[in-house]
Amino acid sequence: MSGNDKSHFPSRTDLAFTRESPYGTLSEPTYSGALSFLRRKYTKDLQGVDVAVVGIPFDLATTNRPGTRFGPRAMRQASASLAWCRPYSWDFDPLDRLHVIDYGDLYFDHGRPHEIPEVIRTRMATLVDANVLPLSPGGDHFVTYPILQALAAKHGPISLIHFDAHSDTWEDEDGRIDHGTMFFHAAKQGIVDVSRSIQLGMRTFNPETHGYEVRHANWMHANGVHATIAAIRERVGTHPCYVSFDVDFLDPAYAPGTGTPVVGGFSTQNALRLIRGLAGLNVIGADVVEVSPPYDVGDITALAAASVAHELLAVIASRYPDRSAR
pLDDT (tens digit per residue) in 133-142 = 999 999 999 9
pLDDT (tens digit per residue) in 128-171 = 999 999 999 999 999 999 999 999 999 999 999 999 999 989 88
Measured CA to CA, the distance from residue 233 to residue 54 in angstroms comes to 27
Supply φ then ψ for residue 311, to 5 degrees: -65, -40
Percent of the chain with pLDDT over 70: 96
- Asked if the structure places residue 7 within a domain, the reply is no
- Asked if the structure places residue 208 within a domain, the reply is yes
Domain range enclosing 313: 51-317
Q: Bigger pLDDT: 14 or 297?
A: 297
Helix (H) or strand (E) holding 201: strand 198-202
Average pLDDT, the chain: 93
Query: Would the pTM count as exceeding 0.85?
Result: yes
- Asked if the structure places residue 226 within a domain, the reply is yes
Give the CATH number, domain containing residue 249.
3.40.800.10
Measured CA to CA, the distance from residue 31 to residue 81 in angstroms comes to 8
- Asked if the structure places residue 91 within a domain, the reply is yes
Measured CA to CA, the distance from residue 149 to residue 152 in angstroms comes to 5
Contact 310, 271 (CB under 8 A): no
Q: What is the dihedral of CA 86, 87, 91, 95, to 10 degrees?
A: -50
Please count the other Cβ atoms lying within 10 Å of the Cβ belonging to residue 68.
34
Strand order of the β-sheet with 133-137 is 41-42, 100-105, 51-55, 133-137, 283-289, 241-246, 159-163, 198-202, 213-216
- Asked if the structure places residue 160 within a domain, the reply is yes
Q: How many domains does the chain have?
A: 1
- Asked if the structure places residue 34 within a domain, the reply is no
Report DSSP letters for 78-145, one per residue: HHTTTTTSPPTT-SS-HHHH--EEEEEE----TTSGGGHHHHHHHHHHHHHHTT-EEEEEBSSGGGHH
Measured CA to CA, the distance from residue 268 to residue 294 in angstroms comes to 20
- Asked if the structure places residue 172 within a domain, the reply is yes
Q: Report the Cα–Cα distance between both ends of the chain, in Å, rounded.
A: 35
Measured CA to CA, the distance from residue 156 to residue 149 in angstroms comes to 9
Report DSSP letters for 241-263, one per residue: EEEEEEGGGB-TTT---BSS--S
- Asked if the structure places residue 323 within a domain, the reply is no
Measured CA to CA, the distance from residue 93 to residue 89 in angstroms comes to 10
CA angle 117, 119, 120 (to 5 degrees): 65
Measured CA to CA, the distance from residue 249 to residue 200 in angstroms comes to 8
pLDDT (tens digit per residue) in 257-300 = 999 999 999 999 999 999 999 999 999 999 999 999 999 999 99
Asked if the model's pLDDT at residue 307 lies above 90, the reply is: yes
Burial zone of 205 (CB within 10 Å; 0-12 exposed, 13-18 middle, 19+ buried)? exposed
